[in-house]
Structure 1
Amino acid sequence: MQWDGISEFVYVAENESFTQAAIKMAISTAQVSRQISALEKRLNVKLFYRTTRKVSLTEEGRVFYQHCRGVLDGLEAGERAITNLQSKPQGKVKLSAPVTYGEQQILPLVNNFMQQYSDVEVTAFLSNQQVDLVEGGYDLAIRLGKLSDSSMMAKKLGKRTNFVCASPAYLSKHGIPHSLSELNSHSCLLGTLDYWRFRGSGKEKNIRVTGKLRYNSGFGLVDAALKGLGIVQLPDYYVQDHLQSGELITLLDNYREPDEGIWAIYPQNRHLSPKIRLLVDYLAEQLA
């Protein structure tokens, strides 16, 4: 009896909606409402502020939620531990990743992972827009660079390096820039931003660059650089092979910004299930 309504309360608190809580619990909205009302009556306290547009926790509700979430996490962890002892990882995994990095790096590794764990089902959504993990029902997302969402837990999977480079043909014709100010006299191949990132004198520097070409495609920019149309700044996974072959040459290495992190993020109120933890650990091992 004392557990009645606890799960419904936590789902409503996390989704800020009786309807969404009902959908995720696969029960009716009316049942959720009845359980919450009975819980409030039993506790003799109001847990939610309700309006036609929003449901939010009262101060008492926030305190109660912290305790309930911890209790449910413990129960879920116990169930997962027993399941993990009795069977191999299985079930659905939903993840998100940036388009190009996902295609080149993440999805091939996921495919390798699924060869080892055939009972795991994976749905991947590639987008350069940051998805809402909770609203979208994602188990984890791959993020590049600096993290801005402090409400998520994060595990570092690896790192990436941004290179400034150009073809030997372009440099032979236009010369090699040795300082950031010299970029003003060169044709810069632009992406979605009007500036490139560097580091000098111990500080980060954003240098505005100009050019005749602008693409929102890293592959298009690489092709333009290979054909001698200008200088480009791109992450290593676009240019590494061309740098090794000599088709592109790195520039301004003394001003290169520090390596950026590659992260797996997931909601902080969730313990990782065995299948998610295995996948995250596998990605970290392969990308390190």
Structure 2
Amino acid sequence: MSDWSGVSEFVAVSETESFTAAGKRLGISTAQVSRQITALEARLAAKLFYRTTRKVSLTDVGRVYYQHCRQVMDGLEEAERAISNLQSSPRGRLRITAPVTYGERTIAPLVNDFALKYPELEVQLHLSNQKIDLVEEGFDLAVRLGKLEDSSMMAKRLSGRTQYVCAAPEYLAAQGVPHSLSELEHHNCLVGTLEFWRFQEAGKPRSIRVRGNLSCNSGQALADAARKGLGLVQLPDYYVQRHLDSGELVSVLDHFNEQDDGIWALYPHNRHLSPKVRLLVDYLAEQLA
């Protein structure tokens, strides 16, 4: 009978070109990946990788071996999906990533409820504002906000969000209410990670570079600064909606709000038939609609 030891490690290193990244994908140490690859090369009596301090690449023999192993791994994944489809309850590990604040406020509670519905799942939720490579890091699903970049990932729209430009009533009383985008240059604009704000004018997207005496990479901090009358801010609804409802903040320039600023579920093509991923995507779409 064939010995399969080291094959999953070999495939992971081949696809990530890194022993460290392969270990992260598989949830094991870099040293364990290295030991398995060394043992596999000894068993095959063949060198599978060229190793340098900066890069790992396949040899010609390794490339041939990878093509066969990848077919086998794809077959195993398809077999597992077929079995999972027969199960009444999804099981196994489900890795999800989402932005920090939106994840804490909205996604995490929904994922927790989903985990209660399906207790045989091992759910791992990773909150980060970094754009994680889902394939390299081994994630099943990402929640992304705003306009999507070109990607090989599959995407499903979960919901929408509105970007509001708003300020405290006392700021507007003192500095005036802007009615056109050109007036923003006369206002103190509280800046986040980007130095421009996005709008829609005459049916076309438009970006306006803004300036102010305060910048911060935290939406919550910027919302607090706006509430205290420091200036105008542009933030998504989940940062400011309750302050708008209470009257602590007032929305301006609403007729320039950008349309279709979505909230999306992204997942690799080989996950689209997975029952656990499909169930979670459908659940999030239903709850966020």
Query: TM-score when scaled to structure 1?
Result: 0.80
Change (3 A) 1:283 1:70: farther
Partner of 1:151: 152
CA contact (8 A) 2:170 2:229 kept: yes
Deviation at 1:69, TM superposition (A): 4.5
Change (3 A) 1:86 1:140: closer
Q: Give 1:242's aligned amino acid.
A: H
Tell me how far apart the structure 2 counterparts of residues 204 and 240 of structure 1 sit (CA, whole Å).
23
Q: Give 2:204's aligned amino acid.
A: K
Tell me how far apart the structure 2 counterparts of residues 128 and 71 of structure 1 sit (CA, whole Å).
35
**1:243 has 2:251 as partner:** no
Q: Which runs of 5+ in 1 are unaligned?
A: 41-47
Deviation at 1:106, TM superposition (A): 0.5
Q: For residues 266-277 of structure 1, what are the structure 2 equivalents within 5 Å?
A: 266-277=267-278
Deviation at 1:118, TM superposition (A): 1.6
Mean alpha-carbon deviation: is it higher for 64-73 or for 171-180?
64-73
The percentage of aligned residue pairs carrying the same residue is 61
Give the number of equivalent residue pairs: 280
Q: For residues 47-86 of structure 1, what are the structure 2 equivalents within 5 Å?
A: 50-52=50-52, 54-56=55-57, 69=70, 72-86=73-87
Change (3 A) 1:22 1:31: farther
Deviation at 1:227, TM superposition (A): 2.4
Deviation at 1:232, TM superposition (A): 0.9
CA contact (8 A) 2:97 2:125 kept: yes
Tell me how far apart the structure 2 counterparts of residues 55 and 106 of structure 1 sit (CA, whole Å).
37
Change (3 A) 1:49 1:201: farther
SS in 2 for 1:198: strand
Q: Give 2:164's aligned amino acid.
A: F
CA contact (8 A) 2:143 2:264 kept: yes
Mean alpha-carbon deviation: is it higher for 132-141 or for 213-222?
132-141
Partner of 1:197: 198
Tell me how far apart the structure 2 counterparts of residues 254 and 20 of structure 1 sit (CA, whole Å).
46
Mean alpha-carbon deviation: is it higher for 156-165 or for 129-138?
129-138
Partner of 1:15: 16
Q: For residues 68-217 of structure 1, what are the structure 2 equivalents within 5 Å?
A: 69=70, 72-148=73-149, 150-217=151-218
Tell me how far apart the structure 2 counterparts of residues 201 and 86 of structure 1 sit (CA, whole Å).
52
Change (3 A) 1:287 1:63: farther
Change (3 A) 1:169 1:63: farther
SS in 1 for 2:266: strand
Mean alpha-carbon deviation: is it higher for 123-132 or for 86-95?
86-95
Change (3 A) 1:243 1:31: same
CA contact (8 A) 1:22 1:29 kept: no
Query: TM-score when scaled to structure 2?
Result: 0.80
Deviation at 1:140, TM superposition (A): 1.9
